[in-house]
Amino acid sequence: MFKLDLQASEKLFVPFITAGDPLPEVSVELAKSLQKAGATALELGVAYSDPLADGPVIQRASKRALNNGMNIVKAIELGGEMKKNGVNIPIILFTYYNPVLQLNKEYFFALLRKNHIDGLLVPDLPLEESASLQAECKNHEVTYISLVAPTSESRLKTIIEQAEGFVYCVSSLGVTGVRNEFNSSVYPFIRTVKDLSAVPVAVGFGISNREQVMKMNEICDGVVVGSALVRKIEELKDRLISAETRDQALQEFEDYATAFGGLYSLK
């Protein structure tokens, strides 16, 4: 399990990538680039054929990864390869619940332990159905990351009381994706979550530029950046796949990520 002890001037930068996009070996290099760009932790997404919470950018990444033969077991093992190759920040497995159900629970948690996966986030598992999985996570020393969206304050309190690692605060209802602006109601919602939470609060779903990061910096502990980074990977994918142009493309990706992570580096 991991605990994020932030000093007053420190902020979270939690990037998301899809395991195996555009190639498994490139995912390892992308994780290393994100660590150098200032990532506090990494969300490693498991490709899924029916990603209900994801917009078109991450859906396309899932399709590319599935075409590369990725599944939940290979994604977990890829996390282990990242750890073997110098990634020392926490890795959080981001997966829908159905792939977990298809595995024996003991086998699933043994895989997480063997590959040094630090956390688990399951976006389609509601609070009422998560108690068993949260208990399993505690037993196996895996941090269960709670996702909160605008809802009643009593429900927020119930979710946040159980939170570990950090609270993932959803900035917008609907699917993931880059957004140019947020509804004004999101800011009081984030402040409410921040007031209720004893662990850091990171905002995700739609963070797409440095200005948004700076705005969120004023009211919470950091950001989760997914679609903007995955879109950049898609833009660079041909150069990332080619051994001849990979290093240059990785540097371009790292420079792009630093626009988000440079504000939030704990180093």
115: left (phi over 0), alpha (psi -120 to 50) or beta: alpha
Q: Tell me the whole-structure pTM to 2 decimals.
A: 0.92
pLDDT of residue 181: 59
Domain boundaries, the chain: 12-145+205-261
Q: What is the pLDDT of residue 151?
A: 80
| Identity at 91, one-letter amino acid code | I
Q: Which one is catalytic: 21, 54, 118, 164?
A: 54
The superfamily CATH assigns to domain 12-145+205-261 is: Aldolase class I (3.20.20.70)
Q: What percent of the chain has pLDDT over 70?
A: 90
| Confidence check: pLDDT of 208 > 90 | no
Q: What is the pLDDT of residue 178?
A: 46
* 211 belongs to the catalytic site: no
Answer whether 265's CB lies under 8 Å from 45's CB. Answer: no
pLDDT in tens, 71-85: 999 999 999 999 999
54 is catalytic: yes
Q: What angle do CA 253, 257, 259 make, to 5 degrees?
A: 130
pLDDT tens by residue, 135-173: 999 999 999 999 998 887 889 999 999 999 999 998 765
Mean pLDDT of 95-103: 95
Phi/psi-derived region of residue 175, left when phi > 0, alpha when psi is between -120 and 50, beta in every other case: beta
Instruction: Give the mean model confidence (pLDDT) for residues 62-69.
Output: 97
Mean pLDDT of 125-142: 93
**Per-residue tokens: 215:** 């705005």
Mean pLDDT across 90-104: 95
Higher pLDDT pick, 85 / 104: 85
pLDDT tens-digit readout, 28-56: 999 999 999 999 999 999 999 887 767 89
Which of 56-70, 104-118, 203-217 is predicted with the least confidence, judged by mean pLDDT? 203-217
Which one is catalytic: 5, 21, 29, 43? 43
Q: So what's the pLDDT on residue 51? A: 73
On average, the pLDDT of the chain sits at 90
* Residue 257: band (very low, low, confident or very high) from pLDDT cuts 50, 70, 90: very high
